Chains A and B, each alone.
Chain A
């Protein structure tokens, strides 16, 4: 939609306003509106509107046509001029009404690795009886796809936000806007939902090979089958050894369960923060993230040992997420969050 800004070369929230003034305006808007709830309906008072570049040209053209009509004293060209001017007024109100009453609700964001874009999902619902056209979401450096919203319908918009380091990515403010109709006006609303998404450390590309499994090192040789410290039962996963299936439990309940054992398993690995062969903390986290994702793909069990935290070997999506989240928030102030 960058051509909307034409003839102004660069896309901005408000054309022609310097970024300092822009920030002041945004602070003012935030102070005025307060923090929004996760489900917010747009009141008319918070939908702002300004003409676009095309709108300014349209106004200029209408004025030129007015002068021409006056000069030629031509009543039909007065009709044309005033029709266009009237359409301008109508378009202004139509543009604002195209947003007012929409309901925005946060629909979640998947964690990503640093360097990837976090996809914030926001659902926009139209509860009115009239369709809304050309609605889009935008943030500082990204614009979502454009959707029409028929009466009673909802659409989930995704806002891609670039991430560069692990931790929480904040989406303090985003906006919803429309150029409908005619793109003469841009009406928008700023949303302050304080959305945040998790960013895992980037998985290192040049990671050293993961440490060999403990069984290969000869640890607990006698315990090769790992059947000693029974820890509990869990749902059977594909790839679990049939030896570990709790057949008795299966006979009772008809459900396939695997026995879980504490301690080493022949196929399990421990990734220890302290034994990663590098000094830099971020680098270590990166390498750990790489080991976890690779091992996760091979469906082997793995455990993660961080200073003060430990995740016993396991596999599966939940385990992977737990481990990566611990890496993402490692050493951060709100790491317990």
Chain B
């Protein structure tokens, strides 16, 4: 049982500070945590506050043990795992909440503050926004102030603790900066980072079922930004290749497995000018790496090309990454029939979408050649009553049939799927490519912004002697979708049709400026990896930078700065030599007729002198105030003058 609180002097004056630090540390987690954990945390804080206010008992050990067990099981059920950022921070939050219920001594508060620090860190692992930097600075300031409050004497005010921790943080800042710049970055992690399933994946999914989703989200979120070394390619060439789907079960397309194929890249024959660019990609928690069709070289580690020329990294992209790549828009692949797998790219499930098959075979027979057939299918989409809409009706069991013959409304996925099925029906190998198309140029920063709303699906068909060729059936239906990009077609088409006014140019410009700042931030701070570091080291004059040289530089810099800080502190804490003020004060002491006792401060001496000495009480007060001010206050010649005047009156 807990002892009655307050009876052993254990009321924790500094607890509100610790609570504040903890609360600030948990704020960025709230949107990810299951609601019951946040509720439990708030409840424990309130409970603890009540305990402190009313001097109640802390809950008994068995109550706490029961709560701990329940919470742990809760986390296990919610996440079905205890490792990774999501469950990790959930556990930290639970630990903090339960620790509050047994915090009786100062040392328990140490634990709480350590947990706060880990919570701040795990929030950074999850998201790195621009405000994350000021947030972490404020959090550190608050945590360190709480830390000081924990051991502060009663005489020390909260303001002075705050000032002290701010001052120390200011000293620490240059040290941190030097370490941050020079600490060698490594490209490969030590251990596999568990995928955080709690926050879900963003971007494109790795299956496609055109009949099931009846609307496409129009998220304005940035998928990636691209900076081109030279000219930016035309909108119609901006196909950002992601993953390739080849197996179709009648309803949906899939092709998730990524088989690394070392020969895939060798089978690409390129011509024309190379296009070099840098992609800064937002985390997707998937392994797909996007590049302009078709990527030829790329700088991302552990990233390989699959047999269908899709790029994938071994571990999922769980944080913002930047990579350089070179692509060619004119290329040929897999010209030799032996390179492709005809069965895989021709396979259609028996009995599905029978009307589409029939139509394709009829049209193929009428067209005569494969390329003529392709052309006639595109013409069909273009000339007949097919509409591009982001809100198509749902389709039934044979979605391609339903789409082609009944609804005739859809977006890229519907057209790509229908087109591929028709190709396959006619014996032409076809597959679906998922990625992004287009992108908006940010004139303020010169980069291209590719948003989630630019997600796109198109098809590739294989032709004898040509190899895989990109065919985008959506372009036949809604050419403006391809030429102007998604946001363009949205502004002019869909939004206007629904009676929404387009966002004003001012707001749009504001958005672009914000995007430019964000891109700069990503580039400077978040994208600072091994390559950028190497570059910077070379700019700073380091020959052939390696981790040893960087480490030595870092250590040297840190030692130098620590010595500087030490000198600064020595200056701050130096004892002033006996100066004019001290000499004047000594004269005053002599005149008072009593002597200063050991360890007696001027204020105490003043009190004694007023009682024992014959000097005027007011005079003693004046001398003491002016002396303290002249000697220990801010440099100020006036108080010295006043001291001189007062002493001469004696």
Contacts and interface: CB of A to CB of B under 8 A. Distances in A.
Interface of A: 3, 6, 39, 41, 44, 54, 57, 61, 65, 67-68, 70-87, 89-91, 93-94, 97-98, 100-101, 105-108, 121-125, 127-131, 133-134, 146-148, 151-156, 179-183
A128 B125 contact: no
A242 B597 CA distance: 38
B615 interface: no
A25 B245 CA distance: 74
A97 B573 contact: yes
A133 B152 contact: yes
B189 A73 contact: yes
B136 A80 contact: yes
Contacts of A6: 107, 110
B159 to A, nearest CB: 12
A89 B136 CA distance: 19
Given A61-B118, A77-B121, A94-B569, 13 more contacts: A54-B110, A71-B190, A73-B189, A97-B570, A100-B570, A123-B598, A128-B573, A128-B575, A130-B572, A154-B599, A156-B599, A179-B151, A181-B164
Nearest to A122: B599
Contacts of A148: 153, 155-156
Given A124-B599, A134-B151, A148-B156, A76 B132 contact: yes
Given A57-B114, A133-B152, A183-B151, A152 B171 contact: no
A76 B169 contact: no
A83 B190 contact: no
B337 interface: no
B124 A77 contact: yes
B193 interface: yes
B147 interface: yes
Contacts of A180: 151
A71 B199 CA distance: 20
A3 B105 contact: yes
B78 interface: no
5 contacts: A72-B319, A74-B128, A83-B172, A97-B569, A151-B632
Contacts of B152: 133-134
Contacts of B124: 74, 76-77, 80
A200 B178 CA distance: 63
A82 B176 contact: yes
Contact of A67 (B105, B185, B190): B190
A219 to B, nearest CB: 47
Interface string B174-188: 111101100101110
A68 B569 CA distance: 32
B140 interface: yes
B175 A86 contact: yes
Given A3-B105, A156-B599, A70 B186 contact: yes
A128 B164 contact: no
Contact of B189 (A41, A61, A71): A71
Contact of B565 (A77, A79, A83, A90): A90
Interface string B297-326: 000000000000000000000010000000
A94 B151 CA distance: 15
Contact of A101 (B137, B566, B575): B575
Q: Nearest 5 CB-CB pairs, A to B? A: A123-B599, A86-B172, A86-B175, A82-B176, A151-B632
A182 B148 contact: yes
B129 to A, nearest CB: 9
Given A75-B526, A181-B148, A182-B148, A68 B179 contact: no
Contacts of A85: 175-176, 179
Given A68-B125, A94-B168, A130-B572, A83 B598 contact: no
B525 A75 contact: yes
A80 B599 contact: no
Contacts of B169: 83, 87
Contact of B165 (A67, A97, A125, A181): A181
B144 interface: yes
Contact of B185 (A73, A90, A97, A124): A73
B410 to A, nearest CB: 41
A30 B56 CA distance: 51
Contacts of A181: 147-148, 164-165, 168
